[in-house]
Amino acid sequence: MRQAEGESTFPLFSWEIASELDRESVFAAVVDSLDEGVVILRMDGNLKYLNPAAMQIYGLRTLREAADFFEQATRSQFYDADGAPVPPERHPRALAYRSGAFSRQLYGVDLPNGKRLWVLMSARLLNRESPFPDVLVSFSDVTAEREDRDRLHHQAHHDPLTGLPNRAFVLRRIAEALESADGGRLRAVLFLDLDDLKATNDMFGHKAGDELLKAAATRLRQCVGPDDVVARHGGDEFVVLIFGDAPEDEICEWRGRLWAQLARPVNIGEATVPIRASIGIVEVDRDERRGAEEILGDADLAMYKAKRSRRRQCR
């Protein structure tokens, strides 16, 4: 073939083919060198392409493993930043087909080994003019950062000795229950003080006192329901949040139940150490007007009244 001017078109045509091949080769080399995982999925969810980083992030050893994993992943459960299941219409592929693209969404994905991986994921449709467009998904592993954040959050809201939630957690949980219908029905707050901790420390040492606190924490946890909260307020003080719709007489029965659970002596080494506790209770109304700080303060005051009168105060 020759152009009107008499010049051949073959060199130009060959150069265009070579340029296209070069571009594809360069693109493949770039994508294969990324630290970010890149996956292309067909409309039916089957795997079309993945780069080495995607294999490494998901712990996949062979292409067969990868194909099986992503075929299953299109039907598997994803989790949002709070760990709640993501509904199918919010899954990455579904979002991409609905909106065309999304960027940097945090998802939790369970791996075959049972470990939960946290990834920042972006996706967009390819070849949109096609009736069967592919989806390009890119993602980076942020599991370590997520675990660091969770660890710091746990440390900020839990007591290192007993593992119980701390005062900050209690105040937040009370506030959530008061402000949100989803927070659960907070029925009562119990404030407990271990009367003999100082004497135990003086007689047997602080290590024995720590063992006493841990024993008290374990017993309190065993005494309450799955929706209730046991927390260490600080020092020798504990707080219990009771949720549900228990009548008033049942609420007052809680103090006796907790007191009896704590009253059994604790064996520390060769010593048998008794536990006595002063317990104050405040009820929380459905139309409660007090805030979290005031409710907790009233429970603390009820405990001190019980301590002075040597009774397990309920009000």
Active site residue 193: no
165-213 pLDDT, tens digit per residue, is 999 999 999 999 998 765 568 999 999 999 878 888 878 788 888 988 9
Higher pLDDT, 28 or 13: 28
What is the CATH classification number for the domain harbouring 69?
3.30.450.20
Are residues 165 and 56 both part of a single domain?
no
Are residues 184 and 245 both part of a single domain?
yes
Among 22-26, 49-53, 202-206, name the most confident range.
49-53
Are residues 143 and 190 both part of a single domain?
no
* Domain termination site, one of 105, 128, 148: 148
Identify whether 3 is part of a domain: no
pLDDT at 169: 96
Three state DSSP letters for the chain: CECCCCCECHHHHHHHHHHHHHHHHHHHHHHHHCCCEEEEECCCCCEEEECHHHHHHCCCCCHHHHHHHHHHHCCCCEECCCCCECCHHHCHHHHHHHHCEEEEEEEEEECCCCCEEEEEEEEEECCCCCCCCCEEEEEEECHHHHHHHHHHHHHHHECCCCCCECHHHHHHHHHHHHHCHHHCCEEEEEEEEECCHHHHHHHHCHHHHHHHHHHHHHHHHHHCCCCCEEEEEECCEEEEEEECCCCHHHHHHHHHHHHHHHHCCEEECCEEECCCEEEEEEECCCCCCCCHHHHHHHHHHHHHHHHHHCCCCEC
Are residues 290 and 191 both part of a single domain?
yes
Are residues 110 and 212 both part of a single domain?
no
pLDDT at 195: 86
pLDDT at 89: 84
Higher pLDDT, 141 or 75: 141
* Domain termination site, one of 94, 120, 148: 148
Identify whether 12 is part of a domain: no
Identify whether 5 is part of a domain: no
Using CA atoms, how far apart are residues 262 and 277, in angstroms rounded to an integer?
7
Identify whether 27 is part of a domain: no
Check: CB of residue 127 under 8 Å from CB of residue 133. Answer: yes
Total domains in the fold of the chain = 2
Neighbours of 145 (CB within 10 A): 12
Identify whether 166 is part of a domain: yes
Confidence grade of residue 3 (pLDDT, cut at 50, 70, 90): very low
Lowest mean pLDDT among 12-21, 164-173, 219-228: 12-21
Six-digit token string for 23? 């571009």
Higher pLDDT, 283 or 311: 283
196-207 pLDDT, tens digit per residue, is 788 888 787 888
pLDDT at 260: 86
Q: Above 50 in pLDDT, residue 268?
A: yes
Are residues 249 and 301 both part of a single domain?
yes
Among 152, 186, 173, smallest CA distance to 233 is for: 173
Are residues 305 and 187 both part of a single domain?
yes
Q: Above 70 in pLDDT, residue 12?
A: no
Identify whether 24 is part of a domain: no
Are residues 110 and 211 both part of a single domain?
no
Are residues 247 and 197 both part of a single domain?
yes
Are residues 305 and 200 both part of a single domain?
yes
What is the CATH classification number for the domain harbouring 218?
3.30.70.270
| Residue ranges making up the domain that contains 247 | 158-309
73-131 pLDDT, tens digit per residue, is 766 778 999 889 988 888 888 888 888 888 889 999 988 888 999 999 999 999 888 88
Identify whether 15 is part of a domain: no
pLDDT at 237: 95
Are residues 139 and 183 both part of a single domain?
no
Percent of the chain with pLDDT over 70: 88
Are residues 296 and 177 both part of a single domain?
yes
* Domain termination site, one of 148, 179, 199: 148
Lowest mean pLDDT among 29-33, 149-153, 229-233: 29-33
Six-digit token string for 259? 């007191």
Q: Above 50 in pLDDT, residue 285?
A: yes
Identify whether 10 is part of a domain: no
Catalytic residue, chosen from 141, 159, 228, 236, is: 236
Using CA atoms, how far apart are residues 232 and 240, in angstroms rounded to an integer?
9
pLDDT at 149: 92
pLDDT at 181: 62
pTM for this one?
0.68
